[in-house]
């Protein structure tokens, strides 16, 4: 999808694929993760950042939603091999090529969201430390669980997902609970767009645990459905505040502020001040957090607040262990 975003007297005009485009405008290309806009999670958070940037910046916007990593890499190569629009900014979600050509962007600036690749000229990588807010989710899970038991569903067994998992397990353990089961939905990115499969797994898990922690993008919708139909069973939102999707079952949401990173990068590029390099954002920097559903605030808010220092301390130890 390609649109031109302009501001006229405080009104945003979206001109979709029609008329002549003004090449003097900033060109923004966004390569979404599997699922794309409408996942009510990871991708929608990125889109929120685009909307916020459009309030004070004009730009052409092109978005693509690949079906998997292979297609994502192909799209990225297509964008970086073709003629460059000046200026041009590309956002991608951890799909940079792994070959020796991975740093060849054709003079473009690239922002890798939720990535940790090595340095390249013109590349900014922004990683979001999810251990600490996931730790707080583990504490909250034990607070609402009569049996003090929880399970985890991951979209895929990869580094980014496993940081959430380690944090949640540590938080549950710290609060005196037990993680009964950890299960991954797929060996590919399809695991992040399989709500029916996630629902079936959650229904099974709820037999032994009161809480399921889904780190599975759009698949989390299936976990919410399973929790709504099982009295006394709960879940957590992911990436953005998802409490509105299940007021009585979503205890809180582990959020990563990808939207703020998107808006900042567009402002930098528009001003000719793009900053390359690696950024790591966590609980302390305001890049991640646990947003507690107000329905559960009386039961978990004080416990979560009291555990914040411990969450950060354990994250620091986890970072040291993972770097060895």
Let me know whether 78 and 205 are in one domain. Answer: no
Domain total in the chain: 2
Which of 20, 63, 24 is closest to 270 using CA atoms? Answer: 24
Let me know whether 213 and 270 are in one domain. Answer: no
Let me know whether 218 and 317 are in one domain. Answer: yes
Let me know whether 175 and 195 are in one domain. Answer: yes
d(CA 124, CA 195): 32
Residue 19 has pLDDT above 50, yes or no: no
Percent above pLDDT 70 for the chain: 88
Residue-range definition of the domain harbouring residue 154: 131-255+285-323
Q: Which residue is it, tokens 């694929």?
A: 17
Q: What is the pTM of this model?
A: 0.77
Residue 313, token pair as written in the block = 């301390």
For residue 138, what are the contacts with CB-CB under 8 A and spacing of at least 6? 150, 167, 168, 169, 170, 171, 172, 173, 174, 175, 177, 213
Task: Tell me, rounded to whole angstroms, the distance of Cα 302 from its chain centroid.
Answer: 26
Let me know whether 56 and 85 are in one domain. Answer: yes
Residue 8 has pLDDT above 50, yes or no: no
Let me know whether 161 and 34 are in one domain. Answer: no
Confidence of residue 126 (pLDDT cuts 50, 70, 90): very high
Let me know whether 34 and 103 are in one domain. Answer: yes
Q: Please compute the mean of the pLDDT values over residues 226-231 and round it to a whole number.
A: 96
Indicate which CATH number applies to the domain containing 275: 3.40.50.2300
Let me know whether 291 and 144 are in one domain. Answer: yes
Residue 178, token pair as written in the block = 């037990």
Let me know whether 185 and 292 are in one domain. Answer: yes
Let me know whether 161 and 291 are in one domain. Answer: yes
């Amino acid at each position: 999808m390609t649109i031109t975003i302009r501001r006229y007297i405080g009104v945003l005009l979206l001109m979709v694929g029609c008329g002549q485009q003004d090449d003097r405008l900033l060109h923004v290309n966004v390569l979404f993760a599997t699922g794309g806009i409408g996942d009510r999670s990871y991708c929608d958070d990125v889109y929120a950042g685009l909307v916020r940037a459009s309030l004070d910046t004009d730009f052409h916007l092109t978005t693509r939603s690949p079906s998997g990593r292979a297609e994502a890499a192909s799209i990225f190569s297509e964008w970086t091999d073709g003629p460059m629009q000046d200026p041009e900014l590309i956002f991608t979600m951890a799909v940079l090529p792994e070959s020796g050509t991975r740093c060849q962007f054709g003079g473009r600036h690239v922002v890798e969201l939720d990535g940790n690749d090595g340095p390249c000229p013109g590349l900014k990588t922004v990683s979001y430390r999810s251990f600490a807010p996931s730790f707080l989710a583990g504490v909250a899970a034990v607070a609402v669980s009569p049996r003090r038991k929880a399970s985890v569903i991951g979209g895929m067994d990869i580094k980014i997902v496993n940081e959430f998992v380690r944090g949640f397990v540590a938080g549950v353990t710290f609060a005196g609970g037990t993680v009964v089961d950890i299960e991954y939905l797929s060996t590919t990115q399809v695991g992040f767009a399989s709500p029916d499969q996630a629902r079936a797994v959650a229904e099974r898990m709820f037999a032994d645990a009161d809480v399921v922690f889904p780190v599975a993008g759009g698949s989390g919708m299936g976990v919410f459905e399973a929790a709504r139909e099982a009295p006394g069973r709960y879940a957590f939102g992911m990436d953005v505040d998802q409490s509105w999707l299940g007021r009585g079952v979503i205890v809180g949401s582990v959020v990563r502020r990808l939207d703020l990173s998107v808006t900042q990068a567009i402002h930098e590029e528009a001003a000719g001040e793009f900053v390359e390099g690696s950024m790591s954002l966590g609980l302390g920097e305001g890049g991640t957090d646990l947003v507690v559903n107000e329905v559960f605030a009386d039961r978990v808010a004080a416990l979560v607040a009291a555990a914040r220092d411990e969450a950060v301390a354990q994250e620091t130890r986890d970072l040291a262990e993972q770097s060895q």
